[in-house]
Amino acid sequence: MLACGDCMDPTPKSLLLPLVVCLLSATACDRTTKVMDVTYCRLDVDCPSGYLCETFECVPKNAKTCENVNDGTPILQPTPHTVDFGMTTSNAPQEKKVLLSNIGNCTLTLFESNLASSDGGVGCAFCGTTFPKEIFPGRSEEVTLAWTPGDPVPHANELRILSDDKEYPTFRLPIRAHYIGSPSLTAAPNPVNFGYVAVGRQAKRNVTLTNRGTGTAPITISAIAVDPPMNSDFEVVQPMDLPRTLRPITQDTTALFTFETRFTPRSSGAPDGGGDTLSTLVLTTSEGELRVPMQGNSATPPVVAVTPMMMDLGNVRLGTTLSRPLTITNSGGAPLSVRATWGGTRPSTDLSTSPQIISSIAGGTFTELQVVVTATAEGPITGLLVLETNDPSRPTVTVPVTANGVTGPGPEVVKLEMTYDNGSDSAFDNDVRDVDMTLEHPFGYVCNERTPAPMNWGTYGNPTWLAFAPKEEPERIVLADARTDGTYRVMVSYQADCKSLPSALLAGILGISIDVLVDILTGGAVPIPGQDIGRLIEQVCINRSSSAVNVKVYVNGTLISEKNTTLGRKGDTAYILNLVRANGVFSVP
């Protein structure tokens, strides 16, 4: 068969047959030429610039403008109609896609896009791009909305789109996001340390769980176990109400979950060879596992020895301070815990110890406790230093302490002693009220808890501040070596006004034991800032109450004045008395 090009050959191979064939095929040759001029397509990208793909053929874009289309109507349709990031406990950034579709029959023009609010952590990169933008019929523009959770509260926003949609020229797309906070389960105490327990005996420790998370995010405890399970020395008294869901403690002050653990050593041996039996408390929760170390000792109990057993600090001139070391030795294997208090019917605030909180003493080691006397009165100063220990054979060691205050050539010595209403003074109870005392010198310098031994008072004296464990009460300020007349002022300030706060609650919030909490409240070396303690007390306080305050003024041991006042709530301050030095003599008007 001849090709179309052969018909144009000026020298055909035959005369008749080629001529007939060429005449019959002329129409086919023309049709082939026309088909080759049409551009076929499947997508817009298959078409040259300025064209769209419509029914598999490329057509000019301007053919789809609303002016060139009969009854041209652009219609904006977003998918989805509402952007909902949902409720989440994760603070990780999230993204949502929105398709802006033109379901009309002519080109849709977007003039502007923005968010109604810049708050809430929602971002829109599309809103910052160049406008106007065209969306052709049957096409879509993808918009990415990002959300970075911030405060654990519900957030509402909207994406505003200005277009030439005749029915909705300003389209508002609702955006919702709710970060409910992040749950955080805390066990107190952590670790669970049973200390020394003799073989065949049993020790019990309560473990309190709290949710220290933010916002309203709950956490569910579904199972409690001991790992390894074959360690029969440790056990958990299984609670009957599992699974248990805890709301954040700042939202629900009753959200405490307490259960009992036990240590019953079967032998005096220990897996680690060092005297301690080890295990792990495993808490299975909706946020994964929380593992809490458990330990106890049955091989070598702590053994306390104190040297000397009596202390005579000798003569101490009024207004001066003297200290002597007391050595506490642990000749046993398990750690020795010691708490120092002053006994007797009326313990003298002239006697104190440093530090007031004694760190645990490892087996075969010792520590030194400074016994301190600051003489403010002439004559004998006596006290009983009581050391409470976990030595099973010596739970209490009492050391008599004596000193003798003697008058020196210096000026009068003043002692300010403050007490206030905060429940029991001898032990930590549910009352965490706290009042502080400040002595101001005539030109405004202060001596108080924050500045316990100022060095800039000059001839107005050398004051020192001290508070006694476990509740910083009583507080004592001694003013010695004042050689210039003037008027001093004594101020009391209410630091914490929660009358009834369960100690287990506050300890649980902090993730510590109640004993450690006592240490913190009395200045122990635990890495939790004091301002955090105050904030947590404020957040979970159940009841509030005023506090009655009493300040006594002694000059060389003689009581010269006693003043009382009442502070109503946290933040209240009052100047309770003026201390006047005139002609070298102190008085209280």
Are 256 and 244 within 8 A, CB to CB? Answer: no
Q: Hey, what CATH class is 185-297 in?
A: mainly beta
Residue in 295, 336, 193, 258 with CA at minimum distance from that of residue 508: 258
Are 98 and 145 within 8 A, CB to CB? Answer: yes
**Max CA-CA distance within the chain?**
153
Residue 525: what pLDDT? 38
- Rounded Cα distance, 299 and 434, in Å: 42
- Rounded Cα distance, 394 and 234, in Å: 26
Residue in 409, 333, 348 with CA at minimum distance from that of residue 381: 348
Q: Buried b vs exposed e over 143-154: b needs ≥16 C-beta within 10 Å? A: bebebebeebee
Cα 30 from chain centre: 84
Cα distances (Å, whole numbers) of residue 136 to 63, 67, 82, 97, 109:
11, 13, 23, 20, 9
Are 209 and 257 within 8 A, CB to CB? Answer: yes
Rg (CA), the chain: 42
Residue in 545, 551, 558, 547 with CA at minimum distance from that of residue 586: 558
Residue 528: what pLDDT? 46
Both tokens of 491, joined, read 């101020």
- Rounded Cα distance, 339 and 181, in Å: 40
Please confirm whether the linkage preceding 149 is cis (ω < 30° from 0).
no
Residue 535: what pLDDT? 53
Both tokens of 425, joined, read 């003074």
pTM of the predicted model over 0.75: no
Residue 191: what pLDDT? 85
Are 154 and 85 within 8 A, CB to CB? Answer: no
Residue 538: what pLDDT? 53
Domain ranges of the chain: 4-36, 38-68, 76-179, 185-297, 301-409, 410-501+541-589
- Rounded Cα distance, 579 and 589, in Å: 8
Give the Cβ contact number of residue 166 at 10 Å.
11
β 244-246/288-297 pair status: unpaired
- Rounded Cα distance, 171 and 184, in Å: 41
Q: If you search the block for the tokens 């070598």, which residue do you land on?
A: 300
CATH for 410-501+541-589? 2.60.60.30
The reply to whether 185-297 and 301-409 are identical in fold is yes
Both tokens of 500, joined, read 């009834």
- Rounded Cα distance, 521 and 432, in Å: 9
Q: Which CATH superfamily is domain 76-179 in?
A: Immunoglobulins (2.60.40.10)
Residue 17: what pLDDT? 41
Fold of 301-409: Immunoglobulin-like (2.60.40)
Pure H helices in 40-131 = none
| Span 417-460, pLDDT tens digits | 999 887 655 444 556 678 899 999 999 899 999 999 999 999 99
- Rounded Cα distance, 361 and 437, in Å: 33
Sign of torsion, CA 232 233 237 243?
Answer: negative
Residue 532: what pLDDT? 52
- Rounded Cα distance, 341 and 348, in Å: 12
Task: Give Cβ neighbours of residue 273 (< 8 Å, ≥ 6 apart).
Answer: none
- Rounded Cα distance, 306 and 367, in Å: 10
Please report, in tens digits, the pLDDT of each residue of the chain (589 residues total). Answer: 444 444 444 444 444 444 434 444 444 444 443 433 557 899 999 999 999 998 899 999 999 999 999 999 999 999 999 999 998 888 899 999 999 999 999 999 999 999 999 888 999 999 988 999 999 999 999 999 999 998 888 999 999 999 999 999 999 999 999 999 889 898 877 888 888 888 888 989 888 888 888 888 999 999 999 998 877 889 999 999 899 999 987 777 678 888 999 999 887 655 444 456 789 999 999 999 999 999 888 878 899 999 999 999 999 999 999 999 999 999 988 888 898 988 877 788 999 998 877 888 988 999 999 999 999 999 999 999 999 998 989 999 999 999 999 987 789 999 999 998 876 554 445 566 788 999 999 998 999 999 999 999 999 999 999 988 767 778 999 999 999 999 999 999 988 766 545 455 555 445 454 455 544 444 443 444 444 555 555 554 544 578 889 999 999 999 999 999 998 877 889 999 999 999 999 999 9
Residue 344: what pLDDT? 77
| Dihedral pair phi/psi, residue 407, rounded to 5° | -75, 135
